[in-house]
Structure 1
Amino acid sequence: MEQRGSPATAPGAARSRRWTRWVPWAVALLTTGAVVATAPAANSGAGSTAQDVLGGEQLRIMAPAAPGGGWDQTSREMQGALRELVGRSEVYNVAGAGGTIGLSQFVRFGDDPTQLMTTGLIMVGAVKANGSEQSLADTTPLVRLTTDYQAIVVPADSPLRSTADLIEAMRADLPAVSIAGGSAGGVEQILAGLLAKAVGADPAKVSYVAHSGGGEALTTLLSGRSAIGISGVSEIQPQIEAGTVRALAVSSPDRLPTVPDVPTLIEGGLDVELENWRGVAAPKGITDEEEQALEGLLVDMTRTPEWREALERRGWGDATLAGPEFEEFVRSEQERVSQVLDEIGLG
């Protein structure tokens, strides 16, 4: 008999969860819009609690990337915010290929409700770019947590000092403008392609250097092996404040309170906007009751003072979305990102 927590070759029969409501959701790449968060009330009725589901076992959270990046930050902020709700939890890292290596391991947990994985837009793109056999369809999406924007940065001694300089350089010799960022097919490479398209160049000719984490991309940038870097604002903010790098622009529709002196790409003359999102998934084979209890736990977590403080400190947007609405959002994102990657020559 297969034991809980052991890898499973198949997650079991498909769940027949009853859909009580459906809310269309899209985070557009090139249009602005306010983020509206919806979520079911957590533990508001009969049913198992998270403590029942965990059965005294410790919750384990996989960050499918190297330490220091957005998924790692999210996982560790979750760990702190969950402490008062479920006690101690464990965060561990499985880096590589935009999260798809971690995903390939995570799906083997089968029906174990003590296992969670942080995920997001980067993984959706990486699944297509890497030809992964697994996708988020092989998990149970629980809750979307945050949104974040990207920063375009250069070393402090770079001759590029503005978006105008970047436009000129990309138009003059696109392949010479090497760009360091995260995994292939991820949000950073999507933004690189959109930048090339916006300046009238061929996105397929972008010289993009992919990395498994933001720390590695920063090392490449500072070593001079890349001309510019693209990173989540929350990840690169300490280096911006320290003067290690100079931010040319952010991908948000308006300036961000965490880096108020950095203009948007739109201000610099490029009609480009891109928003990243992060969330949490469980193994595919968990029961409906376990799914609802874990969703309730995570929604409760988003209401804790610890989580609210983390959002403010990191500059993350609160994008809480749970249940069937999040599952539908993930499905729509898979279709949308696939289309965008094809359009910019990255499919």
Structure 2
Amino acid sequence: MRRDTFLKSLAALAAAGALPLSARAAANVKMLIPANPGGGWDITGRALGKALTDAKLADSVSYDNKGGAAGALGLAQFVNGSKGDPNALMVMGAVMLGGIITGKPPVNLSQATPIARITSEYNVFVLPANSPFKTMADVVAQLKKDPGSVKWGGGSRGSTEHIAAAMIAQKAGVDPAKINYVAFRGGGEAIAAILGGNVTVGGSGMSEFAPYIADGKMKPIAVTSAQRLEGSKVPTLKEQGIDVEIGNWRGVYGAPGISAEQRKALTDMVLAAVKSPSWAEAVKKNDWTPAVLSGPDFDKFVEAEFANLRDVMTKAGMVQ
């Protein structure tokens, strides 16, 4: 039997719970989440961990939240503290790439090991329930009058909602460098600021804001997708005359210094997890778009994303 066929068989058996503990790729997974609790990375990491244990691909999953600097602090901890560990995973995504471009941290994503992209999600912009504004057009009109008076709240500097805000300003004829963007280290902090009326408009993934939108505590005014999300009445930026579209993908990396065989086993484990009923339930619950990519294709994708984001952010005045 070929090695790749054997590994696929192992993954299938593990998903069915038929593998002995000694045969599993990673019996005790350590999941580094480079953000504070409550945000998209936290939700993604914990949903993946649940899928791993529910499918009996891992005995246990421990979580370590390390927020700050668009994931750079967590990346540094992961790179320096998990070398050679075949059971370590770190959640990452487009936000981390943006943060690296703007923050230029001392560690580099290339020091860790690419495993897989697993989801994509579009950002939704919301207003506090008691906002004097009603639509994105109201926000843009105020932005044109006084850019600094519109306080945008979202993830760390370089996040997709930050980039989207800069792109909205650019399309409205406003200097993107003049936008008043307030960066939060985690989704929980951003949500509190929006609910408290401490920002004019907030941006994040639909999964983070959905409960507050449903309760009427936040008013959704735009989504960054090309078409309206399935089952959603939130209008896109494009249909409101603002030609902006941007997605927020998320994935996982393994530790630095693991072998090709260990990377393959870890990748097979993650790919088996995202085929599980537990993961399918999380995807539906959080309005994620499945976007699975692994191996050399994922490597090339990350390289291309770095180049594309750097170009957009430079044009938007976000990179010095």
TM-score computed with the length of structure 2 as normaliser: 0.91
Tell me the secondary structure at the aligned position of residue 43 of structure 1: helix
1:55 Cα deviation from its structure 2 partner: 7.3
Identify the residue that residue 17 of structure 2 maps to in structure 1: none
Identify the residue that residue 36 of structure 2 maps to in structure 1: 66
Q: Which of 40, 49, 53 does residue 79 from structure 1 map onto? A: 49
Tell me the secondary structure at the aligned position of residue 217 of structure 1: helix
Q: Could you tell me the percent identity over the aligned residues? A: 38
Per-residue CA shift, 1:123-160, capped at 9, x if unaligned? 00111211211222111110100000101111111121
The CA distance in 2 between the partners of 1:280 and 1:327, in whole Å, is 12
What letter matches 1:341 in structure 2? M
The CA distance in 2 between the partners of 1:46 and 1:183, in whole Å, is 39
Tell me if structure 2 keeps the 8 A contact 1:182–1:211. Answer: yes
Superposed structure 1 runs of 4+ greater than 6 Å apart: 53-56
The CA distance in 1 between the partners of 2:5 and 2:147, in whole Å, is 50
For residues 20-59 of structure 1, the aligned pairs below 5 Å read: 43-44=7-8, 58-59=28-29
Identify the residue that residue 202 of structure 1 maps to in structure 2: 175
Listed as ranges, the gaps of 5+ residues in structure 1 are 1-39
TM-score computed with the length of structure 1 as normaliser: 0.84
Per-residue CA shift, 1:54-81, capped at 9, x if unaligned? 7775111011100010110011101111
Identify the residue that residue 148 of structure 1 maps to in structure 2: 121
C-alpha spacing 1:262/1:56, structure 2 compared with 1 (3 Å):
closer
The CA distance in 1 between the partners of 2:112 and 2:127, in whole Å, is 37
Q: Which of 171, 193, 214 does residue 241 from structure 1 map onto? A: 214
Tell me the secondary structure at the aligned position of residue 335 of structure 1: helix
The CA distance in 2 between the partners of 1:56 and 1:336, in whole Å, is 34
- Number of residue pairs matched by the alignment: 306
For residues 103-142 of structure 1, the aligned pairs below 5 Å read: 103-108=75-80, 109-142=82-115
Q: Which of 187, 190, 193 does residue 220 from structure 1 map onto? A: 193
Per-residue CA shift, 1:246-302, capped at 9, x if unaligned? 0111111111125x1211111111111110000000112000000011111111111
Tell me the secondary structure at the aligned position of residue 194 of structure 1: helix
Tell me the secondary structure at the aligned position of residue 122 of structure 2: strand
Would you tell me which structure has more helix in proportion to its own residues?
Answer: 2
RMSD, aligned CA: 2.0
Tell me the secondary structure at the aligned position of residue 310 of structure 1: helix
Identify the residue that residue 317 of structure 2 maps to in structure 1: 345
Identify the residue that residue 284 of structure 2 maps to in structure 1: 312
Tell me if structure 2 keeps the 8 A contact 1:191–1:274. Answer: yes
1:323 Cα deviation from its structure 2 partner: 0.8
